[in-house]
Structure 1
Amino acid sequence: MPAIDDRTARHNAVILCCAQALGGANPAIVVSLGGLVGQAIAPDPAYATLPVSLLQLGIASGTIPAALVMRRLGRRGGYFVGTTIGVVAGSVAAAGAAYGSFGLFCLGTFLAGFYSAYVQSYRFAATDAASPGFRARAIAWVMAGGVVAGIVGPQTVIWTRDLVPHSPFAGGFLGQAVLALLSFGVVALLRPTPVAAASPTAGAAAGRPLGVIFAQPRFLLAVVAGLVSYGLMSFVMTAAPLAMVVECGHSLGSATLGIQWHILAMYGPSFFTAGLIGRFGRERVVIAGLVLIAAASAVALGGTSVPHFWTALVLLGIGWNFGFIGATALVAECCRPEERTRTQAMNDFLVFGCVAVASFSSGTLVTAGGWTLLNWIVLPVVALTIALMLWGLARRVFAPAEGRLV
């Protein structure tokens, strides 16, 4: 039976890797173009990055509905719903960009977030039929699709920018819709497996109250580390294309390639981050990630040439990988198995809510104060978070109390 299960798991992991390569391009396109379209058609320049913020808000809002749909229809049926939303999202965003309707464009990017909520679950779906020994490899295969998505998304922007006359940005979102449409044929090849998800009733009836879990200092530090790692990454990444094209006069192609390198740096290290955590510990890997995020801002403050932007975005991506994966692992240590569904859902809601606020505020700041001010803000936030993590290490906050079941 294990061999049969792993045969199914291998098949599904390959299919989900391909689906990730297509669906994972969705946020790359929105991030590459969202701020530029907002700058062009928003009623106020301060709202330029609102479309990208709505992408993150859509992910946060769509996570629980996506889980409910998949619980009812199964993975394949749920992903058909998700890809349908992706096609609609790209079409609506393209129409908004082409006709200069900021409200319509924002609706499209919000729906793109809902689609991304389904894509976010691909790595979990890969483990549904896997034996314990194959689960980590199945996740790695799906993450490999994320690396491909980091190339597919920006290249779609570059190759479609002249597709719609007099609207250089609309073509990228039509490309986004086509990629989602192609995903239909990919997810149709998935083999049925049980959806590995606890029921809301069972999750609510078992385990400690959320207030008790949140009262743990190590849980609070883990959440703060995740919020800061993801929030600062979004804060800088969202503003980068706007700063490159509008403030510094670089080409759209240069800005798009910068986002491509950034996304590759976000997902590429995933193949060895687990090994680093095993060797040095979650807390130290988080601190290393925060240091890299600070280094990214230091490079950005050193100049505004294309190499400065690209180097900063690569360091930012690697820093996010170390910081967020390490923080996620810390959160998992703070709860019992029966508490994971509620605890991780609340953690994700807080993280993506923070990311939405960060991406929106970055547009206001880069418009009012410029790229330099935005990067100066990063440094004290990182310094404070590192100080908290070092305090936690010194006080042995992260070490579970002896005999305590967590």
Structure 2
Amino acid sequence: MQRVQRRTLAVLSAAQIVGGVGVAVGLALSSVVVDELSRSTVISGFAGTATVLGAALLALPAAKASGRGGRRAGLSLAYTAALTGCVISVLAISLRNWPLLLAGLVLVGGGSAGSLAARYSATDLSPKDRSARHLSLVVWASTIGSVAGPNLAEPADRIGRSLGMAEKAGPFAFAALAFALAVVIVLVLLRPDPLILARAGTRTEDPGRNRTIRTAWHTLRTTPTARHALVMIAVSHTAMVSVMSMTPVKLHHDGSNLDVIGLVISLHIAGMYVLSPLVGWLADKAGKVPVLVLGSALLLSAAALAGTAGHRVWQVTAALVLLGLGWSCGLVAGSALVTESVPIERRPAVQGLSDLLMNVCGATGTIVAGAIVGLLGYGMLGLMVGIMVALSGLWLTAVWRRTS
């Protein structure tokens, strides 16, 4: 079983790297292309919203497919949706049709849905004392695609134009190839299927009964630990995307150039992913709940630093690094706790609902954050996020002490 799990982790990591390249390449220019086609800065903002919405909408279908046919079915569905979205995007750019491009970007969100589902796939065959570490290794693999992807957008555009494609269609065509390769990796190499193999030794009920959102809600109502973990995942993600999404705007208004903004966001992404294996090891050794509390403390510190940064770029940078680390603690420890708290037959449904709520909260967070910064300023955003994180951290600590 250990050999099968090592192979599973390697295959999932490979799919994560390739799929991550597809997500990063496809999204590197999405808002720019929508802005050019629509000639509206306001509409360009819907590019990011479309992909987050797509990730949320595809989370449950991918989970349902996993519940019915195993992880290969769920992951291939997500990546195939992203592939289809990239093809639609290439067509939309050629036709200079921005509504069609937004529709394509919704499907491109399947790449993010697949990336999130892959982390859960890593835990199906994990021993309980190593679930967070195994999950974190697949999360860490996202670093490679996230860093490499944007740097491939320019050469992909040049190659696309040399082949007769419309300007900026090349990156989406390249992303389509990346998602196609991710589908092949999953379908051909993810054998035996980890979820099906895990069920073979523990199945106690018909998986066909556990494909619906109703089952997921029922499981969460009767499993407080999973419910608490899901809340902390949602809070961590909302806090992260709320501050992160408005930081480039804040830096731009302060006079920072694109190189500085890019460096700050790159360091933020490094905070999110680079140390995730260490976070996973700590969650397995010290416990998932303590790491969730640690994540809340890091997010609170990040919000405080960001909210009081003023025009100090170094302080904003430090805040974004801590923001990434806090998010990593929340995602890795929370996801592992969700997984180990529910029966194997119900995991896909609960995990799908977790990703759905996480992305819905993230999308809502970006909208609310924009309104707060527009009306009250970046400092007030830091205060509001800090209050949210502090209250959730205190609530989790109280629950943990009571149940202990």
Deviation larger for 349-358 or 255-264: 255-264
| 1:332-361 per-position Cα deviation (integer Å, ceiling 9, x unaligned) | 465455544444333333222212211333
Alpha-carbon distance between aligned partners in 1 of 2:74 and 2:337, rounded to the nearest angstrom: 30
**Bigger mean CA deviation after superposition, 184-193 or 322-331:** 184-193
Shift of 1:379: 1.7
The match for 2:288 among 268, 282, 289 is 282
The residue type equivalent to 1:380 in the other structure is I
Matched, 1:315 2:314: no
Q: List per-residue Cα deviations over 1:298-355 (Å, max 9, x = no partner).
A: 3333144654443332211100011233333444465455544444333333222212
2:139 aligned partner: 143
Match of 1:292 in 2: 298
Give the deviation of 1:230 after TM superposition: 0.9
Is residue 62 of structure 2 the alignment partner of residue 66 of structure 1?
A: yes
Letter in 2 for 1:192: R
Task: Write the distance in 1 (CA, Å) between the matches of 2:316 and 2:96.
Answer: 29
CA contact (8 A) 1:157 1:256 kept: no
| Residue in structure 2 matched with residue 392 of structure 1 by the alignment | 399
Whole-Å separation in 1 of the counterparts to 2:94 and 2:62 = 30
1 or 2, which has the higher helix percentage?
Answer: 2
Per the alignment, residue 235 of structure 2 pairs with 228
Deviation of 1:267 (Å)? 2.0
Alpha carbons of 1:129 and 1:226: their partners in 2 closer, same or farther (altered >3 Å)?
closer
Letter in structure 2 aligned against 1:52: G
Q: Deviations over 1:275-297 (max 9, x none)?
A: 32344433332222122222223
- One-letter identity of the residue aligned with 1:290: S
* Pair 1:120 & 2:126 matched: no
1:131-183 per-position Cα deviation (integer Å, ceiling 9, x unaligned): 88997775454334212123112323466677789x99666545433433443
Please say if residues 15 and 187 of structure 1, whose CA atoms lie closer than 8 Å, have aligned partners that are also in contact. yes
AA partner of residue 24 (structure 1): G
Structure 1: tracts of 5 or more residues without a match: 400-406
Separation in 2, partners of 1:77, 1:343: 17
The count of corresponding residues between Structure 1 and Structure 2 is 390
The equivalences for 1:227-306 within 5 A come to 227-245=234-252, 247-301=253-307, 302-304=309-311, 306=313
Greater Cα shift, 194-203 or 16-25: 194-203
Q: Which moved more, 1:83-92 or 1:124-133?
A: 124-133
Q: What amino acid is aligned across from residue 292 of structure 1 in structure 2?
A: L
Contact preservation (8 Å) 1:213, 1:334: no
1:255 to partner: Cα distance: 3.5
Aligned equivalents of 1:76, 1:332: Cα separation in 2: 18
Quote how far apart the aligned CAs of 1:272 are.
Answer: 1.8
Amino acid at match of 1:176: A
Cα distance in structure 2, aligned partners of 1:93 and 1:359: 23
Moved more, 15-24 or 208-217: 208-217
1:225 Cα shift?
A: 1.8
The superposition leaves residues 47-99 of structure 1 with CA deviations (integer Å, 9 ceiling, x where unpaired) of: 55432233222222212322444567765576555444333323444565687
Q: What secondary structure sits across from 2:324 in the alignment?
A: helix
Residue identity opposite 1:291 in structure 2: A
Aligned residues of 1:362 and 1:374 also touching (Cα < 8 A):
yes
Question: For the residues of structure 2 that align with 1:132 and 1:220, how far apart are their CA atoms?
Answer: 19
**Match of 2:103?**
107
Q: Which amino acid aligns with 2:178?
A: L
Cα 1:144–1:229 change in 2 (3 A) is closer
Matched, 1:377 2:384: yes
Give the whole-Å Cα distance in 1 for the aligned partners of 2:93 and 2:260.
Answer: 21
| 1: CA distance, partners of 2:194 / 2:69 | 10
Relative to 1, partners in 2 of residues 1:152 and 1:346: Cα closer, same or farther, differing over 3 Å? same
* Structure 2 unaligned blocks of 5 or more: 200-205
Percent identity over paired residues: 26
Match for residue 183 of structure 1? 182
- Amino acid of the residue matched to residue 176 of structure 2? A
- Which range is displaced more, 302-311 or 95-104? 95-104
